[in-house]
Structure 1
Amino acid sequence: MRLSELTHPNQLHGLSISELEDVACQIRERHLQVVSTSGGHLGPGLGVVELTLALYQTLDLDHDRVVWDVGHQAYPHKLITGRFTNFDSLRQQKGVAGYLKRTESSFDHFGAGHASTSISAALGMALARDRRGEDFKCAAVIGDGALTGGMALEAINHAGHLPTTPLLVVLNDNDMSISPPVGALSTYLNRIRHSPPLQFLSDSVQESVKNLPFMGGELPAELKSLKGSMRRLAVPKVGAVFEELGFTYMGPIDGHDISAMVRTFQAAHRVGGPVMVHVVTTKGKGYPYAEADQVGYHAQSAFDLTTGKSLPSKTPKPPSYSKVFGQTLIKLCEQDSKVVGITAAMATGTGLDLLQKALPDQYIDVGIAEQHAVTLAAGMACEGLKPVCAIYSTFLQRAYDQLIHDVGIQNLPVTFVMDRAGIVGADGPTHQGQYDISYLRAVPNFTVMAPKDEAELQRMLVTCLDHNGPAALRIPRGSGQGVPLMEEGWEPLKIGRGEVLLEGDDLLIVAYGAMVPEAVDTAKLLNDSGISTTVVNARFLRPLDQALIHPLARRIGKVVTMEEGALAGGFGAAIIESLVDQDLLVPTLRIGIPDQLVDHASPKQSKEALGLTASQIAQRIKERFSFELPESLITQQASQSLNN
C-alpha cells in the first residue's frame, strides 16, 4: 500500500507484517523529507513509526481513543490519518500543526504540547465511557521522559485504583526526553531495559541442589515449604513498580518489531483493567545522524538530508538571548559558589547546557517536573543558596501555585528566567509565552523585569541575584539585538527604575521588554509624520517607575503601552491602573496580544497578524489619536505628491 493512499488508519487492518514494514519505510521517508525542508521535530516521530502502526492494527479509530503525550511524537499518526498530502505545510501558517489538535482532525482525540498529560486524559475518557456503558478502547502513549512528571504519576496512582477500568498505557521508552532523562524512574527503567530474562528463584534452587548426593536431587522439606513464597518474591522484579500500583505489566518488548507489538497489544486489550505495555524504541530510528545525536536531532531547522548538517543562515545573527544568559550565568557561578542553575529537562533550550558542561556541580536537571523545580529552589534558598530556575514561560505556568505558595508568600530569593517569553512561532498555542506578564503581576513580593536587549539581560541577571527576594525576568526566543556585551563586571540596575530613550512632546510610548526596539522604530516612523514621541523603556513590571511615567503622562497627555504578551491583566493594564489610582485620566492605547490564541506560524507572521509591527502600530496610533500634521509637513507632502 502506498502511504499517499492512506486516508484512514483502519486501512492498515489486514495488512501483512511485510506490508506494514513497507509503510513504515514510507513514513520515515516522508517525515525526513518534510522536516529537512521546513524544520520541525525529528527524532521523536522517527522512533515511534512501528509502534504507531502496530497499535493502530489493534484499534478501530472510528471508535477507540488514542492520546499521545506531548504530541510532537505523533507525526506518523498524522501521516496515516489523512494529512499526507498537505504534510509539506507542517508548522507553517495555516498548515499542519506541529502537535495534535482536535480542530485539525477527528483522529486527534486530545491535543497537548506540554508533557505528562496523556494518562490523565485517557483515564478521563475511559471513565466517561464506562459511565455511558460504551465499550471503546482508550490508550495513552507516553515517553519515559514524560513519566517523570508528577501529573503522570498522579494518573497512574488513580488508574491503578480502578482494577475494572480498561486502560492501555504504552510506555515509549527511548531513554530520552529532549535530553537524557534523569532520576530514579529513569534508572529503574534502564535496569529493566537491560536486565536478562529472569527465572523463578524456586527453579534456581532446584537446579542448584539436584546433583547433591545427600539430597538425591529433591528439595528438602524446609525448602519445599518456602517454594511458593520464593516464587511470589521473585516474579515481580521486572515491572514491579507498576504491578504494585495496580497495573498489569507487559514488557519490555522491541518497539521496532511490529509483529511482537501487535500480539502484545491484542493481549493487553483482553486484560479488562489498567495495563502498562513497556515498549523500548530508539529515538531517531532509521536516520543515522538522528540516532547518533538524539539531543541535537530532537528538533531541527532545515537541514541537508545527505550530511545531516543544518542549512547555513543567509545572514549572520547575533547570539541568542538564551546563549547570552547561559554564558553570563557561568561567570556569575564562577564568582559565587552559592549560585545554582536549575532546569526542568530543558538544558539546551534555556542555555543551561553551557553551565552543565562548565560547572556541573552548580547545575541541576530535575526532569519534566516544573512544580518540583520551583519548590526545590525555594528549599535551597532557605539554606542560603541562590537558585536560578530557567524555565520556558509556557512551562512555568505549570508551577503557578508553587510560585505563590512556596516562593512569593515566603519572600524567598529565587530567580526565575522565563525563556521563550512572547511570540514563539511554529510551536503554536501550547508554547506561546503570552501569559507570564499577567500571571506574575499578582504574585506577592515578586520583582519582575524584562530587558530591551541582551546587554540589559546581563545587568538584570545580576540585579536578580543581588535582590533579597523573588525575582523574575522574561527573555524572548531567538537572536538578540546585536549590541556590545561585557565579559564581566556588570552593574545591577536600580529596582523599579525605567529609562527615557527618546524625547518628544506629542506622544508617550511606554514599552516593556522585547517591544522596546519596536517602540523606538515606531517613534521614528511617527517622527517622519511630524509626531514627536517620548519612548520609555519601563524595564520593570513590578514595581513600575511611577515617578518617571506619571509626570510624562500628565505633561504629554497621550499614552501608548507596548508589550509582547496578553493584554488581559498585562503591562498596559498595569500602567492604566497606576494612572487611574493617581486620577491621571489620560487617553491610552494598549498594544499587545488581544484576547485570542496565537496559532502556529513564523514569529514575523504572527506579529503581522496581531498588528505588532512598527508600521502597523504607527498607523493605529495615528487613527486612535487623530493627530493633525503640522502645516509645514502638509505642504511638504503635497509638494512631493505633485512631483511624483
Structure 2
Amino acid sequence: MALLEKILSPADVKELTLEELSRLSAEIRELLVQVVSQNGGHLSSNLGVVDLTLALHRVFAAPLDKIIWDIGHQSYTHKIITGRREKIFSIRKKDGLLGFPDRAESEYDVLNTGHASTSLGFASGLAIARDRRGENFHIVAVIGDGALTGGVALEALNHIGQVKQRLIIILNDNKMSISPNVGGISRHLNYLVSGRPYIRMKEVIQNILKSIPGLGPTMYELAKKLEVLMRTMMVPGSLFDELGIKYIGPVNGHDFGEMFKEFQAAKKHDFPVLLHVVTRKGQGYVPASEDPSSFHSSAPFNIENGKFIGGCKSPSYSEIFGQTVRRLVERDRRLVALTAAMPEGTGLDAVQKEFPENFFDVGIAEQYMFDFAGGLALGGFKPVLGVYSTFMQRAVDQIIHDISLMHIPILVGLDRAGLVGGDGPTHQGLYDIALLNPIPNIVLMAPKDENELQHMVYSGSLLPKPVFIRYPKEPGRGVPLDKDLLEIPEGRAEVLRRGGHALILAVGPLVYRALEAAERLALHDKIETTVVNIRFIKPLDRELIFSLAAGINKIITVEDGTAMGGFASVIHKEFLQTVTNRHEFLTLAVGEGVMPLASREELLEHFGLNSDGIYRQVRAFVNKT
C-alpha cells in the first residue's frame, strides 16, 4: 500500500519518520506529474514546494494555525494532504477542485487567493485580530520571491516591522528574482550571523571590547558599525532586519531536518520572523526542473518525454500580439515592450529574445509598470505593455491619474480578457470594459480574430493617446494573416451581415459566434439579422450604429464581460440619451454571481454566449410579442 494512501489529514504527516517523509514526497511528486500531465496546471512551482508543504504541516497545527499561500498556485500538495487527495484529478476541471486555495473547499484554506503579494497584508491583519481577541495560534504566510516584488507586499513588510506582531513569513525562494543576489559568500556569512556559535563568539568579543579601559566603549561602537556595514553589503537578510523583521536563513527547502529545526525556532519568537527557504522549481521531474518556465502553467503533456500534447495549429492571440510587437520594434527601435513577470504568457518573450534592449520585465508590479511606461513615453519612447486583464485591475489609479489625464500615449494588450477557463474566479477578465470605459482620453478595442488583432496593434501604436486592446486566452481561428499591417480608422465598426429583424452588436471573438447564430436564424427561422463587429468599444461608432438602428427596433449586445457597466451599458446609455424609447434591448453578457470552474467553452455555454445560446435567446427575443 502506497504511503500516500494513509495520509488523510496533516495529523498523519506528523507521525512519519524522516525516511517516510522522503518516500511520501516522492509519491506526491509522482502524483502531481500524473495530474498535471492530464489536466494542465502549475507544475514546476508545486513540485518545488512538496517538502516545504510537508514540513509546514508537520511543525504547525493547521487549521488552528493559519497557513496562507500567496497567489496559491503552489497549493496542490497542501490540498492533497488536507483531505482532498481523492479529488485531485478533478483539479481545474468543471465542478472540480480549484487550482488555488478556496475557503469553500476546506477549513485548511484561509484565503481565496490567485493574485500575487496579498498574503502579508492578510497575515498582519489576522495577527492583530488574534492578539486583541486574546487567542493563541501561529500565522504563517508563504510568499515567493517573485511575489515579494509586488508593492503591496513591500508595504505590508514595512507595516509588519512597525507594529511587530507575532507572525512567521516563509520566503519561498525558487530562483526567480532573489537568488542572483545570494551567492556563496553571502550564504556562508549569513550562516555565521544566524548560527549560535557566531552569536556566542560575538558576545565574547563585545565583552572583551567593553572591558578595555578608556578605549573599550569607542572600539565597541566602531565594531557595531562595521558589523552593520558588512551585513548590509553581504547578508541578504539585512533588509528585513532593518525593517524590524528577524531574518533566518537561507534554509534548504528540501532538507526536512533543517526546516523542522528553523520552523520550531521561529515559533518561539513573539515578533515577526522571516525564514528564507530555498527550493527548486520542478524538483523531481527532469523536464520541469530543466525548463521551469514552460511547466509553470503547463498544458497537458507526455510524462515520458515532457512534450506538450495536442494544442491548436493556430497561434494564440498572445502569440500574435507578441509577434506583431516584435515586428514593430524591428521597424522602430523607439518601441519598448513591458510586462509584469509575464513575458511568455503575454507573448512578449518574442521581443525579449530578439531585442532584449527593447524589453523590460518589471516583476509583479503592475502599478509601477504603468508609471514606468508613462515616463518612457514622456521621454520620447513608445511603450507597449502586455498584461492580463485581471492584473490590470491593480493599476486602475495609475491608468486614470498618471496616464489618461495627461494624454500619455501607451499601447496596452489586455490578455486573458473575458471568460478564462481553468483558473477559476480570480483569473477572469470580466471587468476591463466596465473599469476602462468611463476613463477619459483612452481608446478601447477588441478584435474579432487574430488577423484583426495584428492590425489593431499596429493602429494603436500610431495613436497619440492611451490605447487598450482586449483579447481572450484561446487559439486564433486560423484565419490567414495579412502580410502587411493595416491601419484601422479610429472608432470605425464593421458590418458583417445585414438583415431587418434585429441588430446584433458583438464584441471581440464572440462576433463569429453571433454570425453562426445569425446564419442559423436565417436558415431555420427566417429571421434576418444585421451583425456588427463593434471593434471600438471606445470611441463608439455612433453614426453607424444609429443609422442601422433607424430601421430596426430590436437590438442585441453580445460580450463576454460583466453586464453591469459593460458594453451593453454603453449602448443603453447612448440610446437613452439620443433616441426615443421605441427600441427593445437584449443583453447577452456575464451575469452576477459565483463564477463556476470550467473551460472557456463550458463557461460560454453556461452564460449562453456560445453560438447555440445566442441563437436560442435571439430567436425568443425576436419572436416575443
Structure 1 length as normaliser, TM-score?
0.90
- Alpha carbons 2:6, 2:12 under 8 Å: kept: no
Instruction: Give deviations 1:22-41, integer Å, cap 9, x for gaps.
Output: 22122112111111122111
Measure the CA separation in 2 of the matches of 1:483 and 1:63.
55
The correspondence for 2:302, drawn from 304, 307, 311, is 304
Aligned twin of 1:454:
450
**C-alpha spacing 1:455/1:310, structure 2 compared with 1 (3 Å):** same
1:50 corresponding residue in structure 2: 51
Q: Which residue of 2 aligns with 1:226?
A: 219
Separation in structure 1 between the aligned mates of residue 493 and residue 357 of structure 2, nearest angstrom:
36
Where does residue 339 of structure 1 map in the other structure?
335
1:625 Cα shift? 2.7
Cα shift at 1:420: 0.7
Offset at 1:518? 1.0
Q: CA deviation at 1:599?
A: 2.5
1:599 to 577, 596, 601: 596
Partner of 2:517: 522
1:2 shift after superposition? 2.5
Structure 1 residues 606 and 405, CA, compared in 2 at 3 Å: closer, same or farther?
A: same
2:567 aligns with 571
**Alignment partners' CA distance in 1, 2:512 and 2:337:** 29
How far, CA to CA, are the matches of 2:594 and 2:465 in structure 1? 33
Aligned equivalents of 2:618, 2:319: Cα separation in 1: 35
What's 1:210 paired with?
A: none
Alpha-carbon distance in 1 for matches of 2:60, 2:482: 59
SS in 2 for 1:84: helix
Show the 5 A alignment for 1:157-556: 157-163=158-164, 165-176=165-176, 181=177, 187-189=180-182, 195=188, 225-227=218-220, 229-231=222-224, 233-234=226-227, 236-237=231-232, 238=235, 239-313=237-311, 316-487=312-483, 489-528=484-523, 529-556=525-552
Cα shift at 1:384? 1.6
Q: State the AA in 2 paired with 1:465.
A: S
1:6-62 deviation per Cα after TM superposition (whole angstroms, max 9, x unaligned): 222122223222222222122112111111122111011111111111111221113
Q: 1:198 to 1:543 in 2, by over 3 A?
A: same
Please give the per-residue CA displacement for 1:544-580, whole angstroms capped at 9, x wherever unaligned: 1110001211211111111111111001111111111
Conservation of the 8 A alpha-carbon contact between 1:193 and 1:280: no
Partner of 1:589: 586
- Find out whether 1:6 has 2:1 as its counterpart: no
Contact 2:190 2:250 in 1 (8 A): no
SS at match of 1:329: helix
Could you tell me how far apart the structure 1 residues matched to 2:266 and 2:426 are? 32
2:147 matched to 1:146? Answer: yes
User: Which string of whole-angstrom CA distances, capped at 9 and with x for unpartnered residues, describes residues 614-639 of structure 1?
Assistant: 111111112223269xxxxxxxxxxx
1:636 aligns with none
Change in CA separation of 1:490 and 1:112 when aligned onto 2, cut-off 3 Å:
same
SS in 1 for 2:83: coil
Residues 566, 593 of structure 1: 8 Å contact kept: yes
Distance (whole Å) between structure 2 residues aligned to residue 409 and residue 378 of structure 1: 11
Segments of 5+ residues of structure 2 without an aligned counterpart are: 202-211
For residues 625 and 395 of structure 1, the distance between their equivalents in structure 2, rounded to whole angstroms, comes to 38
Match of residue 17 from structure 1: 18
Deviation, 1:244, is: 0.5
| Aligned residue runs from structure 1 range 618-633, under 5 A | 618-626=615-623
Q: Which residue identity lines up with residue 494 of structure 1 in the other structure?
A: P
Amino acid at match of 2:425: P
**Cα distance in 1 for residues equivalent to 2:496 and 2:216:** 86
CA distances 1:146-205 after superposition (whole Å, capped 9, x unpaired): 000001101100100122x111000000112xxxx3xxx5654567875555768xx9xx
Cα distance in structure 1, aligned partners of 2:501 and 2:604: 26
How large is the RMSD of aligned CA atoms in angstroms? Answer: 2.1
1:613 aligns with 2:606: no
- Distance, in Å, in 2 between the alignment partners of 1:332 and 1:428 is 34
Q: Is the 8 A contact 2:324 2:458 kept in 1?
A: no
Counterpart of 2:409, as a letter, is P
Task: Summarize the Cα distance change of 1:521–1:192 in structure 2 as closer, same or farther, 3 Å threshold.
Answer: farther
- CA change 1:374–1:264 in 2 (3 A) is same
Q: Which runs of 5+ in 1 are unaligned?
A: 207-218, 629-644
Cα distance, 1:466 vs structure 2 = 0.9
Q: Deviations over 1:236-267 (max 9, x none)?
A: 44211110000111100111001110110110
- 1:80 aligns to what SS in structure 2? helix
Q: CA deviation at 1:99?
A: 0.5
Q: Which amino acid counterpart does residue 134 of structure 1 have in structure 2?
A: E
Give, in whole Å, the separation in 2 of the partners of 1:24 and 1:192. Answer: 31
**1:583 positional shift:** 2.3
Aligned-partner residue type, residue 518 of structure 2: A
Q: Following the alignment from structure 1 to structure 2, what is the Cα–Cα distance between the partners of residues 424 and 577? A: 28
Distance 1:311 1:505 in 2: 46
Cα distance between partner residues in 2 of 1:580 and 1:37: 50
- Residue 63 (1) aligns with residue 60 (2): no
Could you tell me whether the CA contact under 8 Å between 1:423 and 1:433 is conserved in 2? yes
* CA deviation after TM superposition for structure 1 residue 272, in Å: 0.6
Change (3 A) 1:193 1:521: farther
Deviation per CA, 1:317-340: give whole Å up to 9, x if none. Answer: 311111111111111111111111
The residue number in structure 2 matching 1:639 is: none
One-letter amino acid matched to 1:104: E
Distance in 2 (CA, whole Å) between partners of 1:548 and 1:45 is 52
Q: Deviations along 1:266-311, whole A, 9 cap, x unmatched?
A: 1001011100000011011111111111111112211111111112
Alpha-carbon distance in 2 for matches of 1:190, 1:128: 39
Q: Distance in 1 between matches of 2:415 and 2:443?
A: 17
CA distance 1:626–1:192, shift in 2 (3 Å): farther
Indicate if the aligned counterparts of 1:192 and 1:252 stay in contact, CA closer than 8 A. Answer: no
User: How far does the alpha carbon of each residue in 1:430-469 deviate from its partner, in whole angstroms, 9 at most, with x for none?
Assistant: 1111111111111111111111111111111122111111
Give, as a single letter, the amino acid of the residue that structure 2 aligns with 1:332.
L
Residues 51 and 253 in structure 2, CA contact (< 8 A), matched pair in contact too: yes
Supply the distance in 1 between the matched residues of 2:102 and 2:152 (Cα, whole angstroms).
21
**CA–CA separation in structure 2 for the residues paired with 1:29 and 1:357:** 33
Report the Cα offset of residue 486 of structure 1.
2.5
Encode CA deviations 1:318-372: one digit per residue, 9 max, x unaligned: 1111111111111111111111110000000000001001111111100000000
Distance 1:517 1:9 in 2: 50
Q: Deviations over 1:506-561 (max 9, x none)?
A: 11101111211111111111111100111111110111111000121121111111
Kept in 2, the 8 Å contact 1:193–1:252? The answer is no
Label 1:499 to 1:584 Cα distance change in 2 as closer, same or farther (>3 A).
farther
TM-score (norm 2): 0.93
SS of structure 1 residue aligned to 2:587? strand
Structure 1, 304-313 or 343-352: larger mean CA deviation: 304-313
